[in-house]
Amino acid sequence: MDHADELRALTDVRLRLQEHFPQLDADVVDAAVRLAHSELTGPVRDFVPVLVEHAARDRLSFALRDDPKDPGRTPPAATPPTASDG
């Protein structure tokens, strides 16, 4: 995969993630994709778009899960009481 093909594939990744996370601003999705892409610096580039998509999707999912303003988020797990709580 050459550089131009990689950039085109990353554009497709951004579009898919924007569709998957419509509640997030496009700039947030773009930042997640750019960060994931910047972490992949190895010489083998064939799987970069797939790896970027997975990493960015994980980051965006985690961000939504921890967003207290998102009513669809997963609530934090309750912590069991400790001896000092009683």
pTM: 0.74
Residue 22 scores a pLDDT above 70: yes
List all residues 6 or more positions away from 64 whose beta carbon is below 8 Å from its beta carbon: 21, 23, 24, 70, 72, 73
CB-facing half-sphere around the CA of 52: CA atoms within 13 A: 31
Please give the angle made by the CA atoms of 71, 77 and 79, to the nearest 5 degrees. 140
Place of tokens 């580039």: 45
Q: Give the pLDDT confidence score for residue 70 in this predicted structure.
A: 54
pLDDT in tens, 35-83: 999 999 999 999 999 999 999 999 999 988 876 665 554 444 333 444 4
